[in-house]
Amino acid sequence: MEAFDLDVRRHVYFSIVANGHPSSVAETATAFARDVPEVEESYRRLHEAHALVLHPDSVDIWFANPFCFAPTPHRVTAGGRVWTGTCAWDALGIPAALHTDGEIDSECACCGEPVRLRVDEGELVEGADLLVHILVPARRWWDDVGFT
């Protein structure tokens, strides 16, 4: 990854934490005083490196793990905001990424029953008896990371 790409990735994550959403290509271009096409290429390289995931039809950021910007059943309340996790596993990563406590409201993928998890001081204190099952083997996650 190029140094510029690392700077762009860092900027995207800072934007997520500060604003609750990733910066657009235009906002990132302005922040770095670069042309939009140059930033679009950086976003694409980051996507190819699995450092973030672009929407299939644009250069908009779909998710930057563990944060998701598409509807999912994995709602996370942490750091004074409501976030969306890509999956149950990533939902647990949001309080960790923010270094804060959090509550995850989700649903069982098998039966649809509500699931509540709670993280306090880095420990899973509610829902620790539950099991997260990831259907897709890890070696196949990036074949269709949106499904995984």
pLDDT along the chain (148 residues), means of 10: 94 96 97 98 96 93 94 94 91 95 91 93 87 77 68
Within the chain, residue ranges assigned H as helices are: 3-19, 25-32, 36-48, 88-98
- Which CATH number applies to 3-64: 3.30.200, 1.20.1530, 1.10.10, 1.10.1060? 1.10.10
Whole-number Å distance between alpha carbons of 147 and 129: 25
pTM: 0.85
Q: Domain 68-126: which topology? A: Bactericidal permeability-increasing protein; domain 1 (3.15.10)
Query: What pLDDT, on a 0 to 100 scale, did the predictor assign at position 54?
Result: 95
Query: What pLDDT, on a 0 to 100 scale, did the predictor assign at position 73?
Result: 92
Say yes or no: do domains 3-64 and 68-126 share a fold. Answer: no
Query: What pLDDT, on a 0 to 100 scale, did the predictor assign at position 139?
Result: 82
Whole-number Å distance between alpha carbons of 101 and 80: 10
Query: What pLDDT, on a 0 to 100 scale, did the predictor assign at position 148?
Result: 59
Query: What pLDDT, on a 0 to 100 scale, did the predictor assign at position 89?
Result: 85
Say how many C-beta atoms besides its own lie within 10 A of residue 61's C-beta.
25
Whole-number Å distance between alpha carbons of 32 and 49: 21
Domain boundaries, the chain: 3-64, 68-126
